[in-house]
Structure 1
Amino acid sequence: MKSFRKILGRTNRGAAPAATPTEGPHDSDTAAAQGEGRTFVSPDPWESSAALEAAKEHTRQLATRNPDLLRMMMRAGAFEAPKAWLQANYPGTEIIDTGPFPTPIKGLEIGPDDTRLYLVRQPQDATKSGLRVVKLVVIPPEGDNGPTLPVAGGALETPEIKAAEDALLELLMKWHAEGKVGECVAIIGMGVDMEIYDFSAEKGFVDPPGDLQFVTQKVRLD
């Protein structure tokens, strides 16, 4: 049986690994534009690169001393960071944490608590409930060595992220048939990687036109 992805097809992936982004200004309207190229903010809460490296070293030590604590911390961060990313890239919208993904993800040996589904709605938009963005976040299965820091690009092109793609596409097709969503941006996040697509019922997932650009922006954590 072919997956939804293979049935509908799509162009090259809108892959967005957490590589070193380019410093620069951000146009808050660009992220949601259905035009040529889009620019996204990569929020950076670290005061310096030294602070970031210190945090990484602390995390590596925790993996040996207290893996259960590290696992709990990484889970919390895996779900809070995507929400902060949506807030930075879609200001003036309503961001809704709907909780775990509503159906099991076929091909992924994870539980519902390893997933989170976010919706971004445009206030006062009557079309299809104003839904602009749907983001599925998945914590991938843990390896034999226990909890480890995710590596940029480590989730892209993996069976796990492909399974998450299929699950999100199936859900959006169902919602479209029920009149709950029209065209929107679909994002799959896993580890520190993302895949970004435009969704329509006619074409399924397709890459956004133009290039995706990512710029860092310093943020303060409250």
Structure 2
Amino acid sequence: MSAIMNRRDLCLYLSALATGMLEPKFASAQDKANSTSTAYLYFSQPIDDKSTLSLTNGLIDLRAKGYKIIYLMLNSNGGNISSGIALYHMLSAMDITINTYAISNVDSAAILLFLAGKERVANKESLFAFHSAREDFSNEKLTPDEITERSNVLEIDNDRMKEIFKERLTLGDKQYGDFFGPQLRFVRPQEALSIGLATRIGEISMQPHDGLYYVQSSAGK
């Protein structure tokens, strides 16, 4: 698959995976299927088109194995907002229980994935980081109109994230200015619990019969 994929191709590919037209490839630590067991899926990648496909492959594979409960263990510095929104809605729409676990850092667009969990667990050392939408223009030459267009897109991305946050978080209107400012706004577990970001603080407990999997990095492909 080409390293560069446009959004139309991405949508077609996800649709093909969901309907069984393509065989998902997924790297796992073990391969067991038991409808009474829980699968733990570790994700430690930037949020982008490639990792979106890798995570989708993994979830489809675990669903096909018969797992009814999946814990998505997150350690991500965030990334592309559009990919984060797509994953949020896909995780929320699945016909199995998706819980999320902040195993370390959950930043920016990765917070969208965390919010998709029915149960959202933050361990006591986890850390969340909010900020407004950003884009790197360092290697591009842009006209004033193009800069304005990019700025408008960033504002739209902020609005789209706010819509999801307002569904899940208990923040006042004035607080959103703090969470969507130019500087990183860090949130520790106790505050995450108080604003509805996490549903509990603690650990998850794997049992011997549970499945442990990871999303394979697409780096270098």
TM category, shorter = under 0.3
The structure carrying a bigger helix percent of its residues is 2
What TM-score comes out, normalization by structure 2 length?
0.24
What TM-score comes out, normalization by structure 1 length?
0.24
The higher relative CO (CA closer than 8 Å, separation ≥ 6) is in 1
The structure carrying a bigger strand percent of its residues is 1
